[in-house]
Chains A and B, each alone.
Chain A
């Protein structure tokens, strides 16, 4: 009886709560830290969440080397080997998107981070992979971005 009442109560209250934001296609955040510190905070948080940074692509270095003026711009690739292996085995077409990456670039004295919402991968994988794993990736990415946003 009490459980039913509690269920009813929660349902009624949920009706009055603001709608939960739907997942955005693009996840973004801003850090008030300058680029080097934000990059450090990003890589640290990625590791703390149990992911391995597999490579940092220095887009700005390539552009500058070719004579183009640009601000700092890097791409950070990260993942967990067991998950990447499982995904490419069960859904080989996902390989085009893996490992996941985060673009990080300077905006004068601050830094912006942007990444694709991994829920897109779930759409590609269809029934081949339990979507729970992509939900966790999304949650982890938001948490990582939150860490960088709050780092000072």
Chain B
């Protein structure tokens, strides 16, 4: 028994003592979006030399911890500090230069003048109110010739992660390989750059992460009872779908493909439909929306009657942490409700 006791102690101790494996953690939590070598994808590229050379470890660690509310990058509240440090260490291994170190002391600038300069030099990419560029990463959902999205400077996650000195350095030196150029080279003086930093910092006072419309507390399903028979309801739905400018792709049974055709339950019918313009635009906002594609409504007949149901896109939208997607999900919710109401009432 003592041998068993000691073996368990030894096995568990190894886990306790072993330092977190940064690569393993990166693969588990980051690589799906940022790429296995940090080249980007749904997420922004992390291995860009000019990025790694200009952000300090604190910026990376706080970004992992807090994410970017409403901007796809999730927060990781359950990772330990040691695990986050290990991920940062792994990301840092892509550069042979040491991490920069920045002073936490705020810069002294004139935010009012900074606002004027920001409107002139920065707003075209970062947005009038610092809301950032659109899209999710480097591929699929956006122009591939751009290596990085203009960050949302008004985002609480960004403002928590970036020190004033980091922002100042980025303005002074730019980011090679991205549209972000050096503002010293463009003729701004050091004080003017500090003014812009102060203006960017002022976003913290009235920031809106675009998360106000997030609908985590919405119903997960839209479901209505139908006054018609199952077959009548299906026919009504076909008409309603077309009247909303959607194309009916197909009608089949929920069990289709899972059992032989004669054994499929005929009282569970799915109608798949699509508006390709809408689909294209939604994928451009977030390529992960395939999780609830194609559009569909499900008709079921039970002892309780005939029901039509659909997922609630307004609920789904909060899962993506992508404020841009909220509007599309709201529109899709309204389409579902209209179609289901038209067919059932």
- Residues of A in contact with B (beta carbons under 8 Å apart): 2, 5-6, 9-10, 13, 16-22, 24-26, 28-30, 32, 52-55, 57, 59, 62-63, 66, 68, 70-71, 73, 75, 77, 79-81, 84-85, 88, 92-93, 95-99, 101, 103-108, 110, 112-116, 120, 123-124, 149
Confirm or deny: B232 has a beta carbon within 8 angstroms of a beta carbon on chain A: no
- Residues of B in contact with A (beta carbons under 8 Å apart): 1, 5, 8-9, 12-13, 15-16, 20, 27-29, 31-33, 35-36, 41-42, 74, 78-80, 82-83, 139-140, 220-223, 249, 254-259, 265, 268, 272, 274, 276, 279-280, 283, 287-294, 296, 298, 300, 302, 304, 307, 309-311, 319-320
Q: How far is the CB of A14 from chain B (nearest CB, A)?
A: 8
- Are B291 and A116 within 8 A (Cβ)? yes
| A70-B280, A70-B283, A96-B298 known; A123+B220 contact, CB < 8 A | yes
- Are A55 and B257 within 8 A (Cβ)? yes
- Are A17 and B15 within 8 A (Cβ)? yes
| A54-B256, A96-B310, A112-B32 known; A59+B279 contact, CB < 8 A | yes
* Known A30-B33, A59-B293, A84-B254; further 13 A-B contacts with Cβ < 8 A: A9-B8, A18-B83, A26-B320, A28-B33, A55-B256, A62-B279, A88-B300, A95-B268, A96-B222, A105-B287, A106-B140, A107-B42, A112-B287
- Are B309 and A30 within 8 A (Cβ)? no
- Are A19 and B78 within 8 A (Cβ)? yes
Q: Select one of A22, A63, A85, A113 contacting B255, CB under 8 A.
A: A85
Alpha-carbon distance between A79 and B259 when the two chains are bound, in angstroms:
11
- Are B290 and A114 within 8 A (Cβ)? yes
Among all A-B residue pairs, the 9 with the closest Cβ atoms: A54-B257, A103-B290, A28-B32, A66-B276, A96-B309, A25-B319, A81-B258, A13-B12, A30-B32
- Are B140 and A115 within 8 A (Cβ)? no
Residues of chain B within 8 A of A9, CB atoms compared: 5, 8-9, 12
Alpha-carbon distance between A77 and B291 when the two chains are bound, in angstroms:
10
Q: How far is the CB of A140 from chain B (nearest CB, A)?
A: 16
Alpha-carbon distance between A19 and B41 when the two chains are bound, in angstroms:
28
